[in-house]
Structure 1
């Protein structure tokens, strides 16, 4: 047993191992609105069931972890461990700000995914593939297995110890943050980083380019897309995203209804030659 796991009480180590094993289901049920949200919630259930006896508190915690979550799989358990430590603190403190939990989650998804993608997809996968290909060229039928082992062993090790590391860091520093009054600054900073990440995702994933042009004498006199870009680059995707957010938050419109409406709108705009 490593020093990292020895520092954690036995009962909590058992719960963290359950989080680790459940984390393999992170993306088993993916939706556009939640990505790995349901898998994250399922992974957190052992801790939530242990920490909260009040059904309402348990319901609130489960709902909290059904929010959007997307991170490189080997790095995800670090966030789960840190989140578990924050849930523990929340169960013991009446003045705990629960919004800080999702704020920290959102702020960590982007940076950790950037590191994880670079290491696992950019380095380890390439090295593992290179070794496996060279072995396969010699006719060794074990080449695919070697590739899987070289890629997955480091991923699983980091996943396992990342769970305990996230929990240890959370338990160690959250109490200090509360004592020093810095928790509000952390929550605010995490919220800002999370919003930046959401804004970046919106600009990359929501696309709209109109093909509408007004011509006179065979010459284009007005390109609608260029005019929109001069006003604000990405104004339509941003407006559509904010409209969906408004409808979900204030009008309680179902995400499924919005998805269907956007699909129908996209088909109509394409059929009419507008976009």
Structure 2
């Protein structure tokens, strides 16, 4: 039986701080995530072929709040451990769980750390620093980083324990397919919500018909709110299905957006 020890988990923890060290716009934090998982992969898989498959799994697109990532690392480490010991384990479940967790946990992490802890810590630190107190910036760093450090430690610990204690039971009861289905559904909901809330595409087109002012955007909103962002998302999905490179898509979106805005279509 392959078993992860404290040495590997400790290495994963420290490597998680480099999550965004190689951030890229194609797969975001994937290189940092894979780097953090390397001790786990080397420990659990002795064959180069198995190591290569594991590396490919963790080089898929990934993006979440850095403070939260040790929790997901702990769960996926436990799943990799189960996979190395059980030939019937469904490897695609590892990617499905990562995809399902990164979106919701990013929302929680951003709200807590970027939207709450950082503002409170900065307010206290700035108030002291404005009075010439040297402890202002020090207190800011402590108030913001101590909770984050604690969340990282507990997240990795309990994420791994949750995976180890639950996965075997789930596998025996045949619940993995249901979990994968739920994870996929949650992931799709998250992507759909991101398209609706983060992608802002509107048209300024206005026509005058027999003295009546017709606003095209109002008509589209009555047919289907956020229709243009949805169509754009499906268009990008179509290009990806056709194997068009991310670089070409990015350049095309930038150039096309500038042109459409210049001619008053968007």
After TM superposition, the score normalised by the length of structure 1 is 0.88
| Distance in 1 separating the partners of 2:138 and 2:66 | 20
Describe how 1:191-230 pairs up with structure 2 within 5 A.
Answer: 191-216=184-209, 219-220=212-213, 222-230=214-222
Q: Paired residue for 1:149?
A: 142
Deviation larger for 210-219 or 13-22: 210-219
* Alpha-carbon distance, 1:59 to partner: 2.2
Contact 2:3 2:81 in 1 (8 A): no
Q: Paired residue for 1:54?
A: 47
Q: Give the superposed CA RMSD.
A: 2.1
Describe how 1:63-212 pairs up with structure 2 within 5 A.
Answer: 63-212=56-205
Deviations along 1:161-219, one digit per CA (max 9) or x if unpaired, are 31121111101100010111111111111111111111111112222111122224664
Q: Paired residue for 1:21?
A: 14
| Distance in 2 separating the partners of 1:88 and 1:48 | 9
Deviations along 1:59-103, one digit per CA (max 9) or x if unpaired, are 222222222222222211000110111111122222222221122
After TM superposition, the score normalised by the length of structure 2 is 0.91
Q: Paired residue for 2:259?
A: 268
| Distance in 2 separating the partners of 1:260 and 1:134 | 44
Contact 2:4 2:40 in 1 (8 A): no
Contact 2:4 2:44 in 1 (8 A): no
Give unmatched runs, 5+ long, in structure 1: 1-8
Q: Paired residue for 1:37?
A: 30
Describe how 1:243-262 pairs up with structure 2 within 5 A.
Answer: 243-249=235-241, 251-262=242-253
